Amino acid sequence: MNFIKNLYIHERFFIYISIIAATFLLSFWVNIFYTIAWLLFLILSVLFIFDSIILFRFSNGINARRILPDKFSNSDENPVPITLENRYPVKVFVKVIDELPEQLQKRNFEYKTSLATTVFHNFQYNITPVERGEYHFGNLNVFVSTPLQIVARRYRFDTEQMVAVYPSYIQMRKYEFLALSNRLTEFGLKKIRRIGHTMEFEQIKNYVAGDDVRTINWKATAKRAQLMVNQYQDEKSQPIYSIIDTGRVMKMPFEELKLLDYAINSTLAFSNIALLKNDKAGMLSFSKKIDKIIPASNKRTHINTINEALYNIDTQFTDSDFGYLYATIKRKVNQRSLLILYTNFEHISALQRQLPYLKAIARQHLLVTVFFENTELDNLIQENAEDIQSIYHKTIAEKFAFEKRLIVKELEKRGVHSILTKPKNLTVNVINKYLEFKAKGLI
């Protein structure tokens, strides 16, 4: 029964059958082909039995293993290594078909190779998830055939493996590495000149060429009879909150990734940078009510707490309650903090409904409202309008783009900082704004 279940006819077998059938047809006109056809059929039958014996004589002729990590990084390429081992005494041809998670919507994965006897072979393929959650892998199917390639035997490995897809920790590590090596400018992060001295005093040290002459400590210079300067360090332990709107406006997808997931990936990377700068990082998500709130902390392990909270966030099909957000911030966030609010406004009327609450929050905290450019309209705006319909479409697209710029002006006029960004540039622009505030001593 197991033999029948795992026995598959190779593609070449049907070619051989077609040749034999053609020979039988020719025998209607030439008798000699009748004998040749039966001879070919007999040879094919013997080879079929011989090929089957070779493949099924060994119970574990092939060993295969799919190596999965504990978690995948959302919106990034994640490698999936596979190891093959040929235990047959002959060279074999292998076709690997992996049953991928349903979220990927791929049913055509296939990998072919040949393996010499007692040889290990490693390869990998990449998957790019675009939503968080549990990804279930099915069977790893390996079809093996001998050089005769008449029949194939199926092996099944690694049934029911699950990997959780978390917010983009690959992006987080990339910016962490660049921050530690002072190479942030390579990814568009600005090097911002510090303004003034709104920093904490650290120590008095000897003057060296290049030090700011405005920091000379004349009393210490007189005592030591040599130039001494005050050294400062950045103010630390400033509370910084990432606030994520999980309402229906954040469900809009760009390049297969929802705005919510762009905000989540940015929150993780930005919070990690803030912790590296010795500030306190926290997060809050809301729609009709407050979904999650993580108090700001500067513990290095706090990034894991934020990551776990971000993993379970999802969008709601409701309008978000900014009034409830304001009341919660007033009650829960007592110290003046930097608040990065990820939301989206498509129309100026949508902003005007929430503007009183944003102004109220901005009176107590340093508020930055982050919303998104509709990049899907770029092609429409750049196209040449050649008929009435295309003129209409282009005009509407330009109207939407103009309203986005109008929203920025309205927020600036009301004293609320803002970032209008393309989704793919979100993390860079948020970190730039944070570094700008640090340089100006606003936090």
Sequence ranges of the domains in the chain: 1-166, 169-193+235-440, 202-233
Scan for tokens 């001879």, then name that residue: 39
b (16+ CB within 10 A) / e for 336-361: ebbbbbbbbbbeeebbeebbebbebb
Closest by CA position to 282, among listed 262, 305, 261, 260: 305
- pLDDT reported for residue 375: 80
| DSSP β-ladder status, 140-145 and 92-98 | antiparallel
CA distance linking residue 67 with residue 122, whole number of Å = 11
CATH code matching the domain that covers 169-193+235-440, chosen among 3.40.50.410, 3.90.1150.10, 3.30.565.10, 3.90.1640.10:
3.40.50.410
Write out the DSSP string of 131-178.
Answer: S-EEEEE--EEEEEE-TT-SEEEEEEE--SEEEEEES-HHHHHHHHHH
CA distance linking residue 332 with residue 340, whole number of Å = 16
The answer to whether residues 161 and 137 touch, using CB atoms and an 8 Å cutoff, is: yes
Scan for tokens 């092939």, then name that residue: 62
CA distance linking residue 316 with residue 318, whole number of Å = 6
CATH 2.60.40.10 fits 1-166, yes or no: yes
Closest by CA position to 238, among listed 191, 274, 201, 186: 274
CA distance linking residue 216 with residue 200, whole number of Å = 16
Residue 167 CB-density burial (10 A; 0-12 exposed, 13-18 middle, 19+ buried): buried
Tokens representing 65 are 């293993």
- pLDDT reported for residue 199: 55
- pLDDT reported for residue 196: 47
Q: Which residues contact 386 (CB under 8 A, 6 or more apart)?
A: none
Closest by CA position to 68, among listed 132, 125, 118: 125
CA distance linking residue 290 with residue 246, whole number of Å = 10
CA distance linking residue 334 with residue 387, whole number of Å = 58
The answer to whether residues 62 and 94 touch, using CB atoms and an 8 Å cutoff, is: yes
DSSP state letter for 216: B
Write out the DSSP string of 32-95.
Answer: HHHHHHHHHHHHHHHHHHHHHHHHHHSTTSEEEEE---SEEETTS-EEEEEEEEE-SSS-EEEE
CA distance linking residue 384 with residue 113, whole number of Å = 49
Closest by CA position to 160, among listed 82, 85, 80, 68: 68
| DSSP β-ladder status, 71-73 and 161-166 | parallel
Tokens representing 209 are 């060429």
Low-confidence spans in the chain with pLDDT less than 50:
1, 194-197
Distances (CA, A) of 81 to 4, 60, 77, 383: 30, 21, 13, 44
CA distance linking residue 157 with residue 155, whole number of Å = 7
The answer to whether residues 146 and 54 touch, using CB atoms and an 8 Å cutoff, is: yes
- pLDDT reported for residue 430: 92
- pLDDT reported for residue 39: 85
CA distance linking residue 376 with residue 74, whole number of Å = 22
CA distance linking residue 358 with residue 351, whole number of Å = 9
Closest by CA position to 143, among listed 104, 122, 119, 115: 115
- pLDDT reported for residue 391: 76
* H or E element at residue 241: strand 239-245
DSSP state letter for 277: T
Tokens representing 133 are 């959650």
The answer to whether residues 313 and 170 touch, using CB atoms and an 8 Å cutoff, is: no
